[in-house]
């Protein structure tokens, strides 16, 4: 009888230890998730103009509208990344108009 009692006592402690480890893992995981939510890594600007991106039609670069060089072409407003891109676009329009 003492042999069976020892086996039952051993199984009881195995269950207790395994439950304790599972509970400890859950507590640590919850602390890690809550800690990462407390401090954001990225600061997002609140004004919508800083987040608006425009595309340069010559080189295809995306940039913020606030730093782009605008050019009105008829009813269309185009944005360029540099004066060189703007000038090459204007020269291209004149070439097409002269050959057409």
Spell out the alpha helix ranges (H) of 2-82.
2-38, 48-51
pLDDT of residue 45: 57
Task: Write the burial class of residue 68 (CB in 10 Å: 0-12 exposed, 13-18 middle, 19+ buried).
Answer: buried
Predicted confidence band of residue 95 (pLDDT cuts 50, 70, 90): low
Cα distance between residue 78 and residue 86, in whole Å: 9
pLDDT of residue 38: 53
Instruction: Delimit the domains of the chain by residue range.
Output: 1-42, 48-99
Residue 64, pLDDT > 50, answer: yes
pLDDT of residue 16: 94
């Amino acid at each position: 009888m003492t042999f069976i009692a020892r086996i039952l006592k051993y199984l009881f402690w195995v269950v207790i230890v395994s439950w304790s480890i599972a509970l400890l893992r859950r507590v640590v995981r919850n602390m890690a998730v809550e800690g990462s939510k407390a401090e954001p890594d990225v600061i997002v600007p609140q004004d919508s103009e800083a987040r608006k991106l425009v595309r340069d039609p010559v080189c295809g670069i995306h940039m913020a509208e606030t730093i782009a060089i605008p050019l009105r072409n008829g009813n269309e407003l185009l944005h360029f990344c540099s004066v060189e891109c703007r000038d090459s676009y204007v020269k291209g329009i004149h070439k097409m108009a002269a050959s057409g």
